[in-house]
């Protein structure tokens, strides 16, 4: 008999077992993502600087830190009065032009009948008014003006300056140069050369030392001097001056 045909015996009877039957249990790792550098601050500044930078001055004049009194901040405008120009006033009641004056440089003025010499202490005669009309060249010790007497500085006839050198002065009477109605125009220099004891009382007297001191002691007396006027003679402050402040506006 002829052989019969049949399918090959080596074909598998079922699908291969190595085929995956389900999706993977773990998802693949995500790809890296891009990000900003780590040194960039995560937050913007919380507040601006507390103080803005100081601007450069716009003017060459700098008077420190205000506030200053200005026309906008003050409530009152004041005009400072100026006194009358003394040049327009007549010279009246001049002490050095009164009658009965005794001249310092006249020997007859002094009880010793001689002009005071260098180093001497000088006491004006009682009840007298002595005038100095020129420079006293001698350096004297203490000049005493009794309560009944006056020492007056006059004008040099040639316009020269008048100088007086002494250790000190004790004025119980009056020491004058000009008056309120007679401006003293001559240049006057009083130079004191004495020393000051350490035990002076309130009147400038020492209980232990011979009166020899540097200064003008006025005990019940008067010093009246009226020279060249300067304008203005005063100013009005619109604001208190603080301790340590070194300028006024």
Cα first-last separation, the chain: 146
pLDDT at 189 over 70: yes
Q: Which residues of 120-139 are buried (b: 16+ CB within 10 A; e: fewer)?
A: bbbbbeeebbbbbbbbbeee
Question: What does the pLDDT average to over 120-127?
Answer: 95
Question: What is the β-pairing status of strands 150-153 and 129-132?
Answer: parallel
pLDDT at 244 over 70: yes
- Domain ranges in the chain are 88-225
203: nearest Cα among 213, 217, 223:
217
Q: What would the pLDDT profile of 70-118 be if each residue is shown by its tens digit? A: 666 666 666 666 666 655 567 888 999 999 999 999 999 999 999 999 9
**Entry field: residues in the chain:** 249
> Residue 31: what pLDDT?
56
pLDDT at 186 over 80: yes
Q: What is the distance, to the nearest Å, from the Cα of residue 139 to the centroid of all Cα atoms in its chain?
A: 36
What is the pTM for the complete model shown? 0.56
More confident residue, 10 or 244: 244
Which tokens is 179 given?
A: 């008056």
> How sure is the predictor about 5, in pLDDT bands with cuts at 50, 70 and 90?
very low
Q: What would the pLDDT profile of 56-70 be if each residue is shown by its tens digit? A: 555 445 555 666 666
**Extended beta strands in 146-225, E state:** 150-153, 162-171, 174-177, 188-192, 216-218, 222-225
């Amino acid at each position: 008999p002829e052989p019969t045909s049949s399918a090959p015996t080596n074909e598998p009877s079922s699908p291969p077992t190595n085929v995956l039957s389900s999706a993977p249990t773990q998802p693949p790792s995500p790809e890296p993502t891009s990000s900003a550098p780590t040194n960039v601050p995560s937050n913007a500044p919380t507040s601006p600087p507390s103080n803005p930078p100081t601007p450069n001055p716009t003017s060459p004049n700098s008077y420190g830190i205000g506030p200053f009194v200005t026309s906008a901040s003050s409530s009152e405008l004041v005009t400072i009065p100026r006194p009358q120009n003394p040049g327009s006033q007549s010279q009246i009641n001049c002490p050095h032009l009164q009658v009965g004056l005794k001249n310092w440089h006249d020997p007859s003025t002094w009880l010793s009948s001689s002009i005071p010499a260098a180093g001497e202490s000088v006491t004006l005669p009682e009840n007298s008014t002595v005038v100095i009309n020129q420079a006293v060249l001698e350096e004297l010790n203490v000049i005493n003006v009794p309560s009944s007497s006056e020492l007056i500085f006059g004008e040099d006839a040639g316009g020269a300056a008048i100088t007086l050198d002494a250790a000190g002065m004790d004025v119980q009477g009056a020491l004058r140069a000009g008056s309120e109605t007679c401006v003293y125009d001559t240049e006057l220099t009083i130079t004191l050369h004495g020393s000051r004891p350490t035990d002076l009382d309130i009147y400038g007297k020492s209980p232990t030392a011979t009166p020899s001191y540097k200064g003008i002691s006025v005990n019940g007396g008067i010093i009246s001097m009226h020279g060249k006027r300067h304008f203005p003679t005063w100013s009005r402050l619109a604001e208190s001056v603080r301790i340590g402040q070194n300028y006024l506006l």
